């Protein structure tokens, strides 16, 4: 599939879906506390999404070689890089957890994630989380018309490498619109390749996954849950962005 340049009408639809996704993360934040199960967070998000006239895009989503995703959000705790499946597992003091939500509103997808601190966490974990957020912001700052996809990962790696962190290479950002995952693929490390030129009307996610150790991951038998192979902590932040005539617009923001 070729990279899609969104029309004004499609951009308007994406703005609404993305804003709703951002509002969902704002809604769930107070519930991310020690003692709550990830299944309860999933239930709350699913109910809120339905009440706001949207559907949870991950529920039933299927990739080649996997069974349909069984829950409405992804909950990735500590060494889980991404695609953690909500369960009866209880969040504990000191955990970090990424909540990845995607709503589908009137045919358009809004995709965003944040890593939350559960109670009081270690300084090492806190720094990883804050620096991962900054890494995402550095990647987004590289987005502008005339730049290249490769500039995004280059900016992220230039910031992250000084801390000795790993950057997960098996996953990356993606184009999004009426389709959940479409072209282009967005690497979050310096591939040494410029890739496609960024043009106004492109919409995609920037969502680096940063680890305290290796960048190697292993997929569990459920076909979804990806963990760091060495058990090291990992954090992720994600925004959906639009390439504009003058630069970049973050769609998954509420202010």
Instruction: State the CATH number of the domain containing residue 245.
Output: 3.90.230.10
Total domains in the chain come to: 1
* 84 lies in some domain: yes
Which residues span the domain enclosing 17? 8-250
> Which of 143, 130, 101, 60 minimizes the C-alpha distance to 238?
101
* 1 lies in some domain: no
Query: In terms of pTM, does the model score above 0.85?
Result: yes
Arithmetic mean of pLDDT, 145-168:
98
Distance of CA 239 to the CA centre of its chain: 7
- In this structure, of 56-65, 114-123, 161-170, 185-194, the range with the lowest mean pLDDT score is 56-65
From the CB of residue 10, how many other CB atoms can be counted at a distance below 10 Å?
Answer: 17
* 200 lies in some domain: yes
The reply to whether omega before 117 is within 30° of 0 (cis) is no
Four-point Cα dihedral 174, 53, 117, 76, nearest 10: -50
By percentage, how much of the chain surpasses pLDDT 70?
100
Per-residue pLDDT tens digits for 164-205: 999 999 999 999 999 999 999 999 999 999 999 999 999 999
Structure tokens at 12: 């308007």
Q: Tell me which DSSP letter residue 180 carries.
A: S
Alpha helices in 36-178 (DSSP H): 38-51, 123-141, 149-160
Q: Does 232 have pLDDT greater than 90? A: yes
* 3 lies in some domain: no
* 2 lies in some domain: no
pLDDT of residue 26: 98
Q: Does 66 have pLDDT greater than 80? A: no
| 227 phi, psi to nearest 5 deg | -120, 155
pLDDT of residue 65: 72
Q: How far apart are CA 144 and CA 107, in angstroms?
A: 26
**CA end-to-end span of the chain, whole Å?**
33
Arithmetic mean of pLDDT, 199-222:
96
* 255 lies in some domain: no
pLDDT of residue 255: 74
Structure tokens at 238: 């994600």
* 137 lies in some domain: yes
Q: Does 64 have pLDDT greater than 80? A: no
pLDDT of residue 104: 98
Band the pLDDT of 155: cuts 50, 70, 90. very high
* 98 lies in some domain: yes
pLDDT of residue 248: 98
Q: Does 7 have pLDDT greater than 80? A: yes
Q: How far apart are CA 233 and CA 17, in angstroms?
A: 31
Element (DSSP H or E) covering residue 21: helix 8-28
Q: Are 239 and 253 in contact (CB under 8 A)?
A: yes
């Amino acid at each position: 599939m070729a990279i899609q340049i969104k029309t004004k009408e499609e951009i308007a639809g994406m703005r609404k879906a993305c804003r709703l996704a951002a509002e969902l993360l704002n809604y769930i934040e107070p519930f991310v506390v020690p003692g709550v199960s990830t299944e309860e967070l999933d239930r709350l998000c699913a109910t809120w999404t339905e009440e706001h006239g949207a559907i949870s895009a991950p529920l039933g989503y299927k990739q080649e070689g996997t069974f349909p995703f069984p829950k409405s959000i992804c909950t990735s705790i500590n060494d889980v890089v991404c695609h953690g499946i909500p369960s009866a597992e209880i969040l504990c003091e000191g955990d970090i957890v990424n909540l990845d939500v995607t709503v589908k509103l009137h045919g358009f997808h809004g995709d965003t994630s944040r890593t939350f601190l559960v109670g009081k966490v270690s300084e090492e974990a806190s720094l990883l989380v804050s620096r991962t957020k900054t890494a995402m912001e550095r990647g987004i700052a590289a987005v502008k018309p005339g730049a290249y996809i490769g500039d995004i990962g280059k900016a992220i790696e230039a910031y992250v490498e000084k801390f000795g962190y790993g950057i997960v290479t098996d996953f990356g950002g993606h184009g999004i619109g009426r389709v959940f995952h479409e072209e282009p693929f967005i690497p979050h490390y310096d591939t040494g390749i410029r890739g496609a030129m960024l043009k106004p009307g492109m919409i995609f996610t920037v969502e680096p996954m940063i680890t305290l150790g290796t960048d190697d991951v292993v997929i569990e038998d459920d076909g979804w849950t990806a963990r760091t192979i060495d058990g090291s902590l990992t954090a992720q932040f994600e925004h959906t962005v639009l390439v504009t005539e003058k630069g970049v617009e973050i769609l998954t923001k509420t202010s």
